[in-house]
Structure 1
Amino acid sequence: MDYHELKEQVIAYSKEIGIDKIGFASADVFGELKARLKRQEALGYQSGFEKGDVDERTEPGRLLPGAQSIISIAMAYPSKMHDAPKSRKGDRRGLFCRASWGEDYHTVLRDRLNKLGAYLQELFPDVELKSMVDTGELSDRAVAERAGIGFSGKNCAIITPEFGSYVYLAELVTNIPFAPDEPVQEGCGDCNICVDACPTGALVQGGQLNAQRCIAFLTQTKDFLPDEFRSKIGNRLYGCDTCQTVCPINRKKDFHHHEEFEPDPEVVKPKLTPLLSISNRQFKEKFGSISGSWRGKKPIQRNVILALAHYRDETSISELIRLMNEDPRPVIRGTAAWGLGKIGTSDCFTAIKDAMINEKDEQVIYEMEKGLQFEKI
């Protein structure tokens, strides 16, 4: 087998099936990453969403015995939405981050990997493969960096020369000994804009993220949002783009190569108040095809309440009162009570006091008390 020729054939085929960039890396242990992950664990900076232990996440041979190389792919997604609806007083809207625009990228990239794998099997019947899209053990970013897709930026994203950091990543571990590509040598230099702009200080320093403080992580949690972050979330319903939008390299980077990633404005920038009464079935029908729906409607609805409180949207008061009194979920009842206090009309405070009489959950009562604190401000 001429592996050089095979590599060229794979590259050519990848372009035919809509992969924007492809790179090849060795399947050696990611030693530097292993040390960094152990530091992250010791510092408590992990999100908890990571799959596998540190060894599994840094040793490709544990995932595919006989692994020789890794194929890394990247697909660009848009940074701008055409005909985006306006968020107006009395008709406020929330926002899903750009990585959740269009069809769930896990589905799209998995399709490309499957096609790539099938193509390899035709050319090399003895091929062994393991594919991963974001939820696998390996770090997509570490693989992409080694494969020359881009460099690791201070915002902890892979930044490609062509598309900036607006790319989805995935990889195929294989037993084919493809020659590795050279890593990209560009870097952020002295630029520190993303670190300075991070709303919660989650970027501890360039290239180091405390996931526990990252808004992208926080919007996906299901419990009460810690107080210090409630004023930071704004109208974000899922994810956060700040460290990408402020990046000078991303300026004017906007690619609409793939119809699957084109956003439906009414889905990714939805009206807030109607989301508070949406059923599970309606939520699945409207949002089920986007990646931002994977945690279900509860965290989204909690974030909706925080966004309405952020706007001090008085048109939502009656709906928030209904939730505070009737919703079976303590996190939603309590957040609604806090949100009413933040909006801060006399009707809000009266409703909180009335609801406290019958409330039994201690956490909800605590949130009601915090909501009433706004009356003293």
Structure 2
Amino acid sequence: MRIDELKQEIIEYSKEIGIDKIGFASADVFSELRERLRRQQELNYQSGFEKGSIEERTEPTLLLPEAQSIISIAIAYPSRIKNQIRGTREERRGIFARASWGVDYHVVLRDRLEKLVEFIQEKVPEANTKVMVDTGELSDRAVAERAGIGFSGKNTSIITKEFGSFVYLGEVITNLPFIPDEPVTDSCGDCTICMDACPTGALIQGGQLNAQRCIAFLTQTKDFLPEPFRDKIGNRIYGCDTCQQVCPWNKGVDFHIHPELEPDPEIAKPKLKPMLRISNREFKEKFGHLSGAWRGKKPLQRNALLALAHYKDKTAVEEITIVMKEDPRPVIRGTAAWSLGKIATREAHEAIREAMQTEKDEQVLYEMEKGLEFELRA
């Protein structure tokens, strides 16, 4: 079979199995990305979640020695919840980022990519492939940009003409010599709306992100959240969508194509207080299918405490006090104390003073002292 005919058959088959966009790229070295990654490393802008060395992340032949092409795919996900729910003063709610609505996208994309690989190997048994979704060494965005899926925006997202930036990306490296597609020529132009809107100034310049300041990254860390960012987190439980929400390319974009990616409102916007003492079993049953659950419940519980502090939720004082006194994890006890301090009722501050009498952990005691520095509100 001619390679151009095979390419067309792959494109047609991709539509049948629920792939919204597909593109083909060469497996040449990503030279520009390599320099950018080196610069990121020098400036300590990396998140620490990156896999592999800079060479492995930019040289496809280190991952598949006979690599000649990369097939890039995109799947669109919703930007709005159909049956919207809102929190109340008695039952405040948090929010998961849109990329964590529905079934874990790693599972969804891997399913599509493996079906694609099976199709290719039926046609060409000698084809060699390597599938990657997000956690692989290659940059999904760099591959998608080269393959013509979309252009790389100043918010570091791939922006497609059809679906804006609300797409998941994955790729297959292969030894088949597909003719590459042309990269998209659109760009952000002079627009800096996303950079101006970023709550923490994490978008340093067009297309460069300081992950150490990015709320999406910070919500996934397991230690105490650095104090300058605690007021910035708002009610975010996992991730951050601000730079996508404000993007003009995303105006009016909302696709509900894949049922498994549809958000359950009660999970996408969970009540905060029940999260504080949720058991491991309950957590797994309710949130285990989300991509946002990959770090476990600790970061999400810490973020829920900060969200309750953001709301200055007086109704949560009793529940947070129990967490501060009884939770075995210092990060959770300390964050609970700081949150009580920020809620700043007399009852909350009294609870901190009482807990200080028996607390032994120095970091927790420090957070308790910081909590008591907030001026009483009532």
Same fold by TM-score, threshold 0.5 exceeded?
Answer: yes
Aligned ranges 1:305-316 → 2 under 5 Å: 305-316=305-316
Deviations 1:183-208 (A, max 9, x none): 00000001100000000000011111
| Contact 2:346/2:376 (<8 A) preserved | no
Structure 1 residue 334 corresponds to structure 2 residue 365: no
1:284 paired residue number:
284
| 2:285 counterpart letter in structure 1 | E
Q: Conserved in 2, the CA contact under 8 Å of 1:23 and 1:73?
A: yes
Matched ranges for 1:217-366 at <5 A:
217-366=217-366
Identical columns (%)? 70
Amino acid at match of 1:267: I
Partner of 1:92: 92
Partner of 2:52: 52
| Partners of 2:151 and 2:229 in 1: CA distance | 30
Match of 1:230, as an amino acid? R
Question: Matches of 1:289 and 1:354 in 2, distance apart?
Answer: 39
Distance in 1, Cα, partners of 2:340 & 2:27: 54
Q: How many residues were matched structurally? A: 377
Partner of 1:111: 111
TM-superposed CA distance for 1:90, in Å, is: 1.2
- Are residue 33 (structure 1) and residue 33 (structure 2) matched? yes
Partner residue in 2 for 1:161? 161
CA distance in 2, matches of 1:14, 1:376: 60
Given that residues 20 and 75 in structure 1 are in contact (C-alpha distance below 8 angstroms), is that contact kept between their aligned partners in structure 2? yes
Other-structure match for 1:145: 145
Amino acid at match of 1:315: T
The Cα of 1:322 is off from its aligned counterpart by 0.5
Counterpart residue type for residue 286 of structure 1: K
Q: Does 1:6 find its partner at 2:29?
A: no
In 2: Cα distance, 1:371 partner to 1:61 partner? 53
Query: Is 1:128 matched with 2:128?
Result: yes
Alignment partner, residue 375 of structure 1 = 375
Task: Give the AA of the match of 1:329.
Answer: R
**1:23-60 superposed Cα distances (whole Å, 9 cap, x missing partner):** 00000000000000000000000000000000000000
Shift of 1:376: 6.9
In the alignment, is the contact (CA less than 8 A) between 1:349 and 1:375 conserved in 2?
Answer: no
1-side partners of 2:289 and 2:359: how far apart? 37
- Aligned-pair RMSD on alpha carbons? 0.7
CA distance in 2, matches of 1:346, 1:20: 55
Give unmatched runs, 5+ long, in structure 2. Answer: none
Secondary structure of the structure 1 residue equivalent to 2:173: strand
TM-score, normalization by structure 2: 0.99
TM-score (norm 1): 0.99
- The aligned amino acid for 2:235 is N
Q: Distance in 1 between matches of 2:35 and 2:190?
A: 25
How far 1:228 moved relative to its partner?
0.4
- The CA distance in 2 between the partners of 1:222 and 1:319, in whole Å, is 21
Unpaired runs of 5+ residues, structure 1, are none
Do the aligned residues in 2 keep the contact of 1:197 with 1:243 (CA within 8 Å)?
A: yes
Cα deviation, 1:206-246, whole Å, max 9, x if unaligned, reads 11100000000000000000000000000000000000000
Q: Please name the residue that 2:65 is paired with.
A: 65
Distance in 2 between residues matched to 1:194 and 1:125, nearest whole Å: 46
- The residue number in structure 1 matching 2:189 is 189
After superposition, what is the alpha-carbon deviation per residue over 1:276-316, rounded to whole angstroms, capped at 9, x for unaligned? 11100000000000100000000000000000000000111
Q: Give 3-state SS (helix, strand or coil) of 1:145's partner.
A: helix
Separation (CA, whole Å) in 1 of partners of 2:357 and 2:278: 27
Per-residue deviation, residues 67-87 of structure 1 (Å, max 9, x unmatched): 000000000000010112111
